[in-house]
């Protein structure tokens, strides 16, 4: 059974949830696994591209979860599962909007946990390493932004979808609030919790092996400030980009 739906469209999500409940009853588990977004520096992205990174997975997860939550609470059982990226734990350079969406998705999970305290509805966050999927083909130029330490650390392991599905099922059956797939990734999560300096060390390593912003010969566009910026926002004028002089 398949229900096609733009999960970032609130009206479409509500109609989809009504059809699902009418045909099959209230679901026991809702898995939020949609994801998109090219890995880019913020100044490289159009406003629509930034919004796209927020629509999926963040807005889609919030809307789909919200559509089924009242019925799950009324029934007194259910699980909301959110599939996460390791980047929700270690920000990388060169993927700013993607990183923002993943950290916000982590906040959504924590907020829902507080909201559902005392109920029998569980929020489960499942962090998976890189998968064999069409993601990189659908988001060209992104895999080149991956920090070179990721494959060495096991944060990008080209995991099969079947293996990932078995981890997700294990998390659901074990009612784990946080499940980290993969031996190395799970070990890093444990070290993050147990070793005081480990999170800072991992963040430093990831940040310093990632994609660099500019070569010495490149210059970023000058962002308009002050009266020029106000005029640009109001539409009175469209300032041209002025290169910053290179020393």
Same domain, 245 and 171: no
Same domain, 117 and 32: yes
- The rounded distance, in Å, linking the Cα atoms of 66 and 189 is 28
Contact 125, 109 (CB under 8 A): yes
Whether residue 84 is contained in a domain is answered as: yes
Report pLDDT for 14: 98
Whether residue 2 is contained in a domain is answered as: no
Report pLDDT for 216: 42
Report pLDDT for 219: 45
Same domain, 151 and 242: no
Same domain, 24 and 110: yes
- The rounded distance, in Å, linking the Cα atoms of 122 and 63 is 17
Whether residue 175 is contained in a domain is answered as: yes
Write out the chain in H/E/C secondary structure: CCCCCCCCCHHHHHHHHHHHHHHHCCCCEEEECCCCCCCCCHHHCCHHHHHHHHHHHHHHHHHHHHHHHHHHHHHCCEEEEEEECHHHCCCCCCCHHHHHHHHHHHHHHHHHHHHCCCCCEEEEEEECCCECCCHHHHCCCCHHHCCCHHHHHCCCCCECHHHHHHHHHHHHHCCCCEEECCHHHHHHHHHHHHCCCHHHHHHHHHHHCCCCCCCCCCCCECCCCHHHHHHHHHCCCCCCCCECCCC
Same domain, 160 and 228: no
Same domain, 149 and 230: no
**pLDDT averaged per 10 residues, the chain (length 247):** 92 97 97 90 93 95 98 97 91 92 97 96 93 86 84 74 94 94 76 78 76 52 50 51 48
Report pLDDT for 211: 76
Same domain, 201 and 226: no
- The rounded distance, in Å, linking the Cα atoms of 180 and 190 is 10
Q: Give CA 211 to chain center in angstroms.
A: 19
Picking from 124, 132, 186, 176, the residue whose alpha carbon sits closest to that of residue 155 is 186
Contact 128, 85 (CB under 8 A): yes
Report pLDDT for 157: 62
Q: Give CA 109 to chain center in angstroms.
A: 12
How much is the pTM? 0.80
Owning domain of residue 33: 10-213
């Amino acid at each position: 059974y398949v229900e096609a739906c733009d999960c970032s469209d609130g009206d479409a999500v509500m109609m989809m949830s009504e059809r699902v409940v009418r045909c099959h009853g209230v679901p026991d588990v809702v898995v939020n696994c949609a994801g998109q977004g090219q890995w880019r520096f913020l100044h490289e992205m159009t406003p629509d591209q930034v919004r796209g990174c927020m629509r999926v997975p963040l807005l889609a997860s919030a809307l789909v979860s919200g559509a089924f939550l009242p019925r799950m609470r009324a029934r007194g059982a259910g699980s909301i599962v959110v599939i996460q990226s390791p980047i929700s734990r270690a920000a990388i350079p060169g993927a700013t909007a993607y990183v923002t969406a993943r950290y916000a998705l982590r906040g959504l999970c924590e907020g829902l946990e507080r909201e559902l305290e005392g109920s029998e509805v569980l929020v489960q966050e499942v962090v998976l390493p890189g998968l064999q999927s069409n993601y990189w083909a659908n988001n060209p130029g992104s895999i080149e932004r991956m920090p070179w330490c990721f494959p060495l650390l096991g944060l990008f392991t080209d995991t099969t979808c079947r293996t990932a599905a078995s981890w997700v099922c294990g998390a659901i059956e074990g009612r784990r609030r946080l499940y980290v797939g993969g031996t190395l990734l799970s070990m890093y999560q444990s070290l993050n919790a147990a070793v005081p300096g480990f999170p800072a060390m991992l963040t430093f390593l990831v940040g310093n092996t990632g994609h660099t912003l500019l070569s010495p010969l490149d210059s970023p566009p000058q962002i308009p400030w002050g009266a020029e910026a106000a005029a640009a926002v109001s539409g009175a004028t469209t300032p041209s980009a002025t290169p910053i002089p290179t020393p």
